[in-house]
Amino acid sequence: MSNVKALLSLEGQVSVVTGGATGIGFQMASGLAEAGSNIVLCSRKVEVCEASCAELEKLGVKTLAVACDVTKPDQVEAMKDAILKKFGRVDMLMNNAGRAWVAPPEDMPLDRWQQVMDLNINAALICSQVIGREFIKQKRGKIINIASIAGIVGRNPAAYSSIAYSTSKGALVHFTRDLAVKWALHNIQVNCIAPGFFVTPLNEKLFEKNREYLEAEVPSHRTGGPDDLKGAAVLLASRASDHITGVILPVDGGTVAW
C-alpha cells in the first residue's frame, strides 16, 4: 500500500502540455511542476513557451519549449523525438491547445468552424496517436483532455455564443470516453477536465462585457481562480488515478449541477 503523498507525487515524470504557455494551460502546467513533474510546453510561438518554461524552472524542474503546430502530424512527431532525446521518457499528455470563434449559429463562417475543429479535436487525435504509441510501448501513460462545460450543456447566448467551440468540446468529451475504453488494456488512463469560465488574457474583454451573466450561472457566483485547476490536473496525471479512466471532471463551481 502506497502513501497518498507518493501516489500524488509527479517527481521525475515528464508531462506534455499543448498550448500550456498561457492561460489555464500555464496554470495546470504550474501545478504539475509544483508536484515535481518536468514540463514540455509547445505552441507555434516558441518564444512564449520559452518564457513560461523559465518561470517553471524556478520551481526546480526541467523544461523543454518546442515550436509545434499540433494540427501537423510531422511537427508532433518531431516534438515527440525532441522529448525522448532530452528526457528519454514521456508520462503524460495534456491536450489543452484550443481556440474559439464567437458568432451566432446562423452566421458562423465555415472556414472559422473548420479552424476550431482542426485545433480543438483533430489536434487531440494527432497528439494522442503520436504520444500514445509511446505509451503503448511502455505499457503505461496518462492523457488529459481539456474540454469545457460548453461541451456538456448548451450555453446562454447572452453570455457566450460559439457553437463551433461547444461542438468541438462535446466531441472531445466523447473522444475521451471512447479512447479510454480502447486503450484501457494498455494501462493508459484517458480522462477529461471540463472547466467552467476562467478569465484569461484571451477572454478578459468578453468577461467584462458579460460578467453579470457569466457569474450568475455559477452557484458559487464566481469564475475560476488561479489555483482551481491545479488539483484536478495533478490527480489525473498521478498514480492516484490509476483506476480512473473515461471520466469527465467539471471544474465549474457547480454550474452543470445547477
For residue 201, the model assigns a pLDDT of 79
How high is the mean pLDDT in each 10-residue block of the chain (258 residues)?
94 97 97 98 96 98 98 98 98 96 94 98 98 98 98 84 95 98 98 95 83 88 95 98 98 94
Q: Delimit the domains of the chain by residue range.
A: 4-253
| pTM exceeding the 0.85 threshold for the entire prediction | yes
- Of the residues 26, 113, 160, 165, only one is catalytic, namely 165
Nine cell digits for residue 216: 450568475
Looking at the domain that runs over 4-253, which CATH code has it been given? 3.40.50.720
Annotation marks residue 165 as catalytic: yes
